A and B are shown apart, each in its own frame.
Chain A
């Protein structure tokens, strides 16, 4: 054998073979050593006896929704501060019923890790996986795109880590793609449509021709569908629905055809920087000065936020839309939150910040209620949870689809803003009963508690 080896330079000597064998054994055996502890815990990332518990905040730091992401992160940092009993407490002072004690969660100090979703499903899942596998987070929250929310929610279900959705407005998130481990505080496109309908009828009548420009992903599709259903119920006609890529930047090629389409209303199913760009260009093309069919041409942005209004400047004046929350609300909870956010960062919070802040608090509160971090118990505590004093009035986490039900605000771009933040004026607070629906209409299945 050895003799033949010396003749054959390609072969292994016995010594080489032994060495290689030893190295491979170590290499293959090593992971068993590292994963051995996995058997000891009964759920993923059990904090056990540790003195702290880690939350994962996965927000877009780059891409078309980066502004919202930055504000979400500010809100999360504030929430962690308040949970740990630092600062002025914010909404912890107004929340009812409250089980939080201001000493962290279940006596453990809250720490956090952050990640960049880049508003891409792949990147968001990679970032979420890092948090779950490396940083040992007990829950993940954040996101500013429904595509990302749906993708991360699926992962959360697989891995058994609760995901508290940030800003996501698609019907699918708590509709056909709903998951047992995903929860949404934000409202959705269906509710926007229900809330906007009566106001549109009052303002623009029932003889209109609508043209839709829609962000081409789950949120855009469902919002287009919901708004279309609402307006067609009013008697409006839909001239065309055009899909535009997310982050397109230049919308002029989509806006030019609107001019000669015979439509007299343009509905922009866009969000973030996309909405800022498309609205600005639509105004520059003179759409709002036009008269079509003997009526003033109108633009509607069904999902509005103050950050977008800030970006679009004067162009948003008079434009109608809906929003989850606005800092100008005068209830105690909103005032307390705006005050502590303003003290910390020098600007009022956006609706994205509010929903993320509330989500972090609600999760922590559910852990206190359940008395454990064990996800199935926490989920049960959140399902059907009724609360108040979080800025939206009485709210309920519906058990059947993990969607929060609360009042919806119809807003208009302020004609005479008194400050650089006073950009949206609340036209109408639509009560919860008007925007409620049967969870069955969107289908989907929550899946099991235990994974």
Chain B
């Protein structure tokens, strides 16, 4: 990463925007360019970027962010059911409601720090999950998940025109929000979310959060009350999760309780660490990789493997297929686990650190070739 400067930030923004919008092109060779997965990349990118605002800047590790994702989804689906199939109110409600929910949880959880904070958030998320799963069944429809039905009131839509035959689509002023239009809607949201995150990282508020991360006690002694800053960061991050949750509902109008399960909270932690905690693009990368594994690797079966290794001699092919078969299909968790261990052990800063190391290796080599001494480590190039 280059030295932060307004100019470099604009370049970063431009590159990021182009990369996100062109995803259908450059992801095609690896078989990831289909609308559903592209939508997931964008949505979980938002989720991870938001999580990183809390975890990357303040160092507070929340283990309950999936609760906000779920709240966002439920709010969005209810907006589709009660008001209109237009996605804007759904996104708005999802984000705002998740924000309110974050105020409540954050207010209590942020009284503690470190592992106690993590456990408190985990407890709240698990509580929300169980509420959604059984106690609040009239609102959430339990394990079956909340779905649209023909009998929904949809007051705004039905006031404008008579309901058609079959279930309606989520739409943005007539544009169907599934397939590629849905992806572009999510992509625009992702770009906005990334921009806001960038501004927060560069703002005095972001500095304040970083200062809390490096030494909260010192901050208190210099007379700062850190809790409001933490709460704001927590709520922003919760709203990002709510936005991601409502986008999940926008692209597929169904909300299930499993979105709030602790595994979903753990997933976003993995994404952030895999990509690089506290970096701008890291969480997005991590989200992409995990979703790619989940959707593509899990679909490999023996038939496909036999096709890939068909060129090998028969005996060897069977062995190769048997061994690789362990790591794909239902074994995709194993591959992901191994990758995660390698990253954490060798690249504690995540993939972004890996990229930085490669870059500095080449820079150093070219400097050496030009006869420049490189005793001092080249950082920040």
Binds A, one of B74-82, B229-237, B250-258, B364-372: B250-258
In the complex, chain B residues whose CB is within 8 Å of the CB of A113 = 299, 301
The reply to whether A134 and B37 form a contact with Cβ atoms under 8 Å apart is: yes
Please name the residue on chain A nearest to B261 by beta carbon. A120
The reply to whether B24 and A34 form a contact with Cβ atoms under 8 Å apart is: yes
Greatest chain A CB density within 10 A among B6, B21, B134, B178 is at B21
The reply to whether B295 and A130 form a contact with Cβ atoms under 8 Å apart is: yes
The reply to whether A133 and B36 form a contact with Cβ atoms under 8 Å apart is: yes
- Which positions 175-219 of chain A face chain B at CB distance < 8 Å? 177, 216-218
In the complex, chain A residues whose CB is within 8 Å of the CB of B148 = 154
- B interface footprint on A2-14 (CB within 8 Å = 1, 0 otherwise): 0000000110100
Please name the residue on chain A nearest to B6 by beta carbon. A10
The reply to whether B133 and A245 form a contact with Cβ atoms under 8 Å apart is: yes
The reply to whether A23 and B31 form a contact with Cβ atoms under 8 Å apart is: no
Partner of A130, one of B22, B36, B145, B147: B36
Is B354 an interface position by the 8 A CB rule? no
Is B165 an interface position by the 8 A CB rule? yes
- Bound state CA distance, A61 and B330, in angstroms? 6
Assuming the contacts A24-B18, A62-B330, A134-B34, asked whether A114 and B144 have C-beta atoms less than 8 A apart, the reply is no
The reply to whether A216 and B143 form a contact with Cβ atoms under 8 Å apart is: yes
In the complex, chain A residues whose CB is within 8 Å of the CB of B204 = none
Is A233 an interface position by the 8 A CB rule? no
- A interface footprint on B134-153 (CB within 8 Å = 1, 0 otherwise): 10000000111101101000
Is B89 an interface position by the 8 A CB rule? no
- Bound state CA distance, A154 and B169, in angstroms? 12
- Bound state CA distance, A26 and B144, in angstroms? 42
Assuming the contacts A10-B10, A447-B166, A448-B165, asked whether A121 and B258 have C-beta atoms less than 8 A apart, the reply is yes
In the complex, chain A residues whose CB is within 8 Å of the CB of B10 = 10, 12
Secondary structure of the B contact surface, majority rule: helix
In the complex, chain B residues whose CB is within 8 Å of the CB of A24 = 17-18, 21
The reply to whether B35 and A133 form a contact with Cβ atoms under 8 Å apart is: yes
Binding site for A on B (CB under 8 A): 5-7, 10, 14, 17-18, 21-22, 24-25, 28, 31, 33-37, 40, 130, 133-134, 142-145, 147-148, 150, 165-167, 169, 178-180, 183-184, 252, 254, 256, 258-259, 294-295, 298-299, 301, 303, 329-330
- Bound state CA distance, A134 and B31, in angstroms? 8
The reply to whether B24 and A126 form a contact with Cβ atoms under 8 Å apart is: no
Is A451 an interface position by the 8 A CB rule? yes
Chain B nearest CB from A128 CB (Å) reads: 9
Chain B nearest CB from A104 CB (Å) reads: 16
Q: List 19 A-B contacts (CB under 8 A).
A: A12-B10, A27-B18, A30-B22, A112-B303, A121-B258, A122-B254, A123-B258, A125-B252, A129-B252, A150-B147, A151-B145, A155-B252, A157-B166, A158-B169, A216-B142, A217-B142, A217-B144, A218-B144, A447-B166
- B interface footprint on A28-54 (CB within 8 Å = 1, 0 otherwise): 101100110000000000000000000
- Bound state CA distance, A10 and B18, in angstroms? 19
In the complex, chain B residues whose CB is within 8 Å of the CB of A288 = none
Chain A nearest CB from B366 CB (Å) reads: 25
Please name the residue on chain B nearest to A124 by beta carbon. B256
- Bound state CA distance, A120 and B259, in angstroms? 10
Partner of A121, one of B34, B144, B150, B183: B144
Chain A nearest CB from B18 CB (Å) reads: 4
Please name the residue on chain B nearest to A133 by beta carbon. B34
In the complex, chain B residues whose CB is within 8 Å of the CB of A12 = 10
Interface range on chain A: under 10, 10 to 19, 20 to 34, or 35 or more?
Answer: 35 or more
Please name the residue on chain A nearest to B332 by beta carbon. A116
Is A147 an interface position by the 8 A CB rule? yes
In the complex, chain B residues whose CB is within 8 Å of the CB of A154 = 147-148, 167, 254
Assuming the contacts A61-B330, A121-B145, A216-B143, asked whether A30 and B35 have C-beta atoms less than 8 A apart, the reply is no
Which 9 pairs between the two chains have the least Cβ-Cβ distance? A217-B143, A27-B21, A129-B36, A134-B34, A61-B330, A27-B22, A133-B34, A218-B144, A121-B256
The reply to whether B134 and A243 form a contact with Cβ atoms under 8 Å apart is: yes
Partner of A9, one of B7, B21, B301, B303: B7
- Bound state CA distance, A246 and B359, in angstroms? 49
Secondary structure of the A contact surface, majority rule: helix
- Bound state CA distance, A81 and B299, in angstroms? 20
In the complex, chain A residues whose CB is within 8 Å of the CB of B34 = 130, 133-134
Binding site for B on A (CB under 8 A): 9-10, 12, 16, 20, 23-24, 26-28, 30-31, 34-35, 61-62, 111-116, 120-123, 125-127, 129-130, 133-135, 146-147, 150-151, 154-155, 157-158, 172, 177, 216-218, 243, 245-246, 445, 447-448, 451
- Bound state CA distance, A448 and B169, in angstroms? 14
Please name the residue on chain B nearest to A69 by beta carbon. B330
In the complex, chain B residues whose CB is within 8 Å of the CB of A217 = 142-144
The reply to whether A28 and B21 form a contact with Cβ atoms under 8 Å apart is: yes
Partner of B24, one of A31, A122, A448: A31
In the complex, chain B residues whose CB is within 8 Å of the CB of A151 = 144-145, 147, 254, 256
Assuming the contacts A120-B256, A121-B256, asked whether A150 and B144 have C-beta atoms less than 8 A apart, the reply is yes
The reply to whether B330 and A116 form a contact with Cβ atoms under 8 Å apart is: yes
Assuming the contacts A31-B184, A35-B180, A125-B252, asked whether A26 and B298 have C-beta atoms less than 8 A apart, the reply is no
Partner of A115, one of B37, B166, B183, B299: B299
- Bound state CA distance, A369 and B252, in angstroms? 33
Please name the residue on chain B nearest to A8 by beta carbon. B6
In the complex, chain A residues whose CB is within 8 Å of the CB of B31 = 134
The reply to whether A447 and B24 form a contact with Cβ atoms under 8 Å apart is: no
The reply to whether A122 and B36 form a contact with Cβ atoms under 8 Å apart is: no
Partner of B40, one of A61, A114, A126: A126
In the complex, chain B residues whose CB is within 8 Å of the CB of A158 = 167, 169, 178
